[in-house]
Structure 1
């Protein structure tokens, strides 16, 4: 395609002259060679003329291959260290500069693996298909990776019984843990919902009720795992049947609310009480605790292996303005900023409460809130990557409050939510929760105008409305909520009892 081959310069030295390749590829002799000719012309006793070496093509190729191997070794180290974002440009340059290299299969292999690690399965499949279908000249001397590529294609392509990939808007139904425990005839239940137009079942994967540490431990989870009690393997029962009827199955998870974990594990978060100026244990779990992070990765990796099509991370246990003050969070903050965090400096005791409530926070609070949000998303990204390694086609949805679209400052302060930062972490979709609890604990459902505004604002912040799902009341009131959904936006019907706080 008219590509200019890269210029190769050789640093081969000899006693009286040097050799290098010019831009045209010809060998040119300089410096010492000119001096040698002058000595011969002036006569006298001359030293024996050294033999002129010849640069064989194989020698040039060998030197070039050594450099290529170093590039690929660097890319492999980036993959092992989880730094595939750095490896991608290098690997793409390799494919462009060395289209006939015998190491091309290895370059494609690491490029595909990196895309897989980053969750970009379609691009990974493109590289695996290219690797399995065409091999460059001379590849027989190097590992071909053909078998490995074909194996990954088999694992990443839909298995028999899987539903077709759905690219358009979805109609989902949220089903609670208690409803799933009491589930009877699975086949009849799924068929009935499929006939009503449901394309996605969002199943609550674990119990949300109960107090950790009580005499009778709360229920566990609804999938097979070695990390806690399986109350019933509902996912194992539902997924094959749902796929036969063309229905996707998503799991709903609240990562900071797992009532079966005993407080004696020391995994609870800590909250700060501004009036009393003291810390106290929280009822929620600490995302910054390394031991809890390992548990979370193990538990949700087992969930990914169940065959589920996606995971929804709920927003019903947010890291609020007085949450996140665990020892691990405070120490990490101090390491990054080189200064100890003083909780008393975060809240303006003399400030007047405004409608948004954000005026009560000092500038130091906003640095703390931004850091806390970014670090929490890093933990979630680690979990996402671990799940994707087990199930590369898994879709990840992050639920956010309406304020994340319409009042970003309040969302950051009250819920540690930042959709722009979350988008950088490669979540596939965002679920916009539209039910909130007011101070009197009665439900307030936002009307169609508010719903339309929230969708518009969120799509502007994300730059794409096709990645937005919306939670609507169940059942929809005479279609008004459905009519307010913008084109390309999916909906999930949620019972009032499972509304966002």
Structure 2
């Protein structure tokens, strides 16, 4: 997880239309919080009030503590890794969620809890038997990975228990972290291979999955995939969607009205076949399940760096991505995330560049937006303009 101070997710944002023409009746104007530079809950409430004045009506709060995450200054950490709510299934760093929920609701705002699945240090570090298995392209062998084996029934039951305990709080929703994916060399656990063989009759042998493995600049790559690989990736995407659905169902047993959002990588919308290969993420599969929001990580600078394309082409892709996801799920369920900080320099992106990205996404349409991430140094005027529908 990239470590940033504060991420602001702006859901239900309309820039050029009157307030009555929102894409849905109850837009979420939200902020996604990775870290807050607040020493106590009084300062937290002051910060929340400033966000509310800028038009924010929903907080999305990080409720997990992985090994290299920053601790909240207003928390009283009792564990180095774990979660920020009471549960039987994970170490409790500090139960700050109850107080955050109280503050948020007292100010007539909603609160979403942002939680991990496969990338959970508290479960990984003390349970090596629960680690996934991956294919090492260099040695041509299956080795242990660094994340959880999501196909292990014990892992699934623990996650369901954690999410059920999370749902016992008076929260309004949950955001799945972007770790609920499987890279092209991930997922080779015994459980996964046995299930795949039972489902398809095909042996999940890495030796029949990849073509032309080669080395470049000290790293190993695959030039193409076999038909067996595509069946394997399709199956993995179905299983991931089904597991997410199981977790949602478990949480909704406690709170039937709980909303769920899932992060989508930009490739999932812009290049579905690549996303299926690299991430086992398939939007056509995900829309079969009851997610309330699909959050597209349309980070233009990241896309430019990874794709090596000029600005004009990147902005064209942003517009096409929005067209595609709107056609699939409609405007009420999408959240297009706009990058406002450079990941490498940690500096804010100039406003005119952000505006170009926004206009490329909206293209005259009513589209929910998310600014990612906003720090203490980022002026809230751009958020206020968005939520008040003022011209940029």
TM-score normalised to structure 1 length: 0.59
Aligned to 2:29: 171
Cα distance in 2 for partners of 1:320, 1:285 equals 13
Normalized per residue, the structure richer in helix is: 1
Indicate whether 1:239 and 2:97 are aligned: no
Aligned to 1:227: 89
**Judging changes above 3 Å, is the alpha-carbon distance between structure 1 residues 432 and 180 closer, same or farther for their aligned structure 2 residues?**
farther
Query: Which of 388, 391, 409 is 2:255 aligned to?
Result: 391
Aligned to 1:473: 339
Residues 95-174 of structure 1: pairs in structure 2 closer than 5 A: 167-174=25-32
**Judging changes above 3 Å, is the alpha-carbon distance between structure 1 residues 228 and 263 closer, same or farther for their aligned structure 2 residues?**
closer
Query: Which of 312, 322, 341 is 1:455 aligned to?
Result: 322
Residues 163-202 of structure 1: pairs in structure 2 closer than 5 A: 167-177=25-35, 185-202=43-60
- 1:171 Cα offset (Å): 2.5
SS in 1 for 2:183: coil
Cα distance in 2 for partners of 1:317, 1:336 equals 21
Aligned to 2:74: none
Cα distance in 2 for partners of 1:285, 1:204 equals 19
Normalized per residue, the structure richer in strand is: 2
Cα distance in 2 for partners of 1:412, 1:218 equals 35
Aligned to 2:161: 298
8 Å Cα contact 2:212-2:222 kept in structure 1:
no
**Judging changes above 3 Å, is the alpha-carbon distance between structure 1 residues 489 and 307 closer, same or farther for their aligned structure 2 residues?**
farther
Aligned to 2:178: 315
1:268-300 residue CA offsets vs partner (Å, 9 max, x unmatched): 111101332101111111110000111000001
Cα distance in 1 for partners of 2:316, 2:269 equals 14
Aligned to 2:142: 279
Most deviating of 296-305 and 260-269: 260-269
**Judging changes above 3 Å, is the alpha-carbon distance between structure 1 residues 167 and 244 closer, same or farther for their aligned structure 2 residues?**
farther
8 Å Cα contact 1:268-1:285 kept in structure 2:
yes
8 Å Cα contact 1:218-1:259 kept in structure 2:
no
Query: Which of 340, 345, 361 is 2:208 aligned to?
Result: 345
Larger radius of gyration: 1
**Judging changes above 3 Å, is the alpha-carbon distance between structure 1 residues 445 and 379 closer, same or farther for their aligned structure 2 residues?**
farther
- Residues paired across the two proteins, number: 324
Most deviating of 412-421 and 343-352: 343-352
Cα distance in 2 for partners of 1:390, 1:332 equals 30
Cα distance in 1 for partners of 2:65, 2:228 equals 37
**Judging changes above 3 Å, is the alpha-carbon distance between structure 1 residues 327 and 241 closer, same or farther for their aligned structure 2 residues?**
same
SS in 2 for 1:424: coil
TM-score normalised to structure 2 length: 0.74
Aligned to 1:260: 122
Indicate whether 1:363 and 2:227 are aligned: yes
- 1:310 Cα offset (Å): 1.0
Aligned to 1:411: 275
